[in-house]
């Protein structure tokens, strides 16, 4: 089964490493409009270089298209791939608005193609264990608290023309970085009834979009969530996700899931910290997510993250943007 990575940027090597570890799968090609970058990537990984996605879609040897491009191209390229009968691995965000997300879901249902949405932290052992605990507890949490503190500065945004602009990135902190933490929060909290959110630009005047976000999320279950995130921290710190019960708290941070009670702390799960690909604060679940998708395609199963599986995250995400930015 042949895969082609479209977009040879920062995330592309992680997809290449994942493909190389799958039996029966191969990195067939790499595509980028920057010919030098496509050639360099293809040379490094021993695959064919493409410079136009239409050439990828017209190649009958291609089974899976990995959309790893800037945000504004996700919908356009994923839609074209689906219409061409190609299966798709789609990096986050799945789309820059709900209208395009709904259109992609409809296209997938109408076609014979399958789409895997990349939300790599769902593959983390700590997340899997936390969801098992929440589902088996028989008790509704008192509340959920999520906090993310990363570092992005003007130089980061200037390094790629599409970053920091509404038209091409679709937002800032929330749609690009904090979406990972929000996704985990949505897995625990479920469907939101109301989101009272505020997004703002407090420290990077060179960009149009937000660098800080705060919200209270009212879930239909009756649970409330507190969400805070910023790109103005001095380093890329580990996120923190806490699930509070009457007698204990489960805290996920620094690649560990802790159970905290009045008697002390206990480690109940740990994440992989040895896999070399990627950055630890990104999460290291790409390899597992992509492998599960290819195995499903090879065996006819469906054990992977479908587009519809990220609907709650996408709906909650765009609630943050409804009110615009505060000064």
Q: Which domains does the chain have, with CATH numbers?
A: 2-117 (3.40.50.720), 124-275+307-326 (3.30.360.10)
Between CA 5 and CA 62 the distance in angstroms is 11
pLDDT per residue of the chain (327 residues) written in tens, 0 to 9:
999 999 999 999 999 999 999 999 999 999 999 999 999 999 999 999 999 999 999 999 999 999 999 999 999 999 999 999 999 999 999 999 999 999 999 999 999 899 999 999 999 999 999 999 999 998 999 999 999 999 999 999 999 999 999 999 999 999 999 999 999 999 999 999 999 999 999 999 999 999 999 999 999 999 999 999 999 999 999 999 999 999 999 999 999 999 999 999 999 999 987 765 655 555 679 999 999 999 999 997 889 999 999 999 999 999 999 988 887
282 CB burial (10 A radius; 0-12, 13-18, 19+): middle
Between CA 71 and CA 319 the distance in angstroms is 18
Structure token pair of residue 176: 């690009």
Distances in whole angstroms, Cα of residue 7 to Cα of each of 13, 20, 62, 70, 91:
10, 18, 16, 8, 11
pTM for the structure as a whole: 0.95
């Amino acid at each position: 089964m042949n895969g082609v990575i479209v977009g040879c940027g920062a995330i592309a090597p992680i997809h290449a490493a994942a493909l190389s570890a799958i039996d029966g799968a191969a990195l067939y090609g790499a595509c980028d409009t920057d010919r030098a970058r496509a050639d360099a990537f293809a040379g490094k990984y021993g695959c064919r270089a493409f410079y136009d996605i239409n050439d990828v879609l017209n190649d009958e040897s291609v089974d899976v298209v990995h959309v790893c491009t800037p945000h504004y191209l996700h919908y356009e390229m994923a839609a074209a791939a689906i219409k061409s009968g190609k299966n798709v691995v789609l990096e986050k965000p799945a789309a820059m608005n709900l209208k395009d997300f709904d259109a992609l879901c409809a296209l997938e249902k109408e076609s014979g193609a399958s789409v895997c949405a990349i939300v790599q932290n769902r593959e983390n052992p700590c997340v899997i264990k936390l969801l098992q605990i929440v589902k088996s507890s028989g008790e509704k949490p008192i509340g959920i608290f999520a906090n993310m503190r990363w570092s992005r500065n003007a130089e980061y945004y200037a390094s790629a023309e599409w970053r920091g602009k509404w038209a091409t990135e679709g937002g800032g902190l929330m749609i690009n970085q904090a979406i990972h933490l929000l996704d985990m929060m949505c897995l625990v909290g479920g469907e939101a009834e109301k989101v009272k959110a505020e997004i703002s630009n407090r420290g990077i005047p060179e960009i149009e979009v937000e660098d800080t976000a705060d919200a209270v999320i009212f879930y239909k279950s009756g649970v409330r969530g507190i969400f805070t995130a910023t790109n103005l921290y001095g380093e890329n710190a580990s996120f923190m996700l806490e699930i509070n019960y009457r007698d204990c708290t489960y805290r996920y941070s620094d690649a560990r899931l802790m159970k905290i009670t009045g008697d002390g702390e206990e480690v109940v799960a740990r994440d992989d910290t040895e896999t070399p690909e990627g950055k630890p604060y990104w999460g290291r679940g790409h390899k597992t997510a992509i492998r599960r998708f290819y195995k499903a395609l090879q065996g006819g199963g469906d054990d992977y993250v479908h587009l519809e599986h990220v609907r709650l995250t996408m709906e909650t995400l765009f609630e943050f943007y409804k009110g615009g930015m505060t000064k």
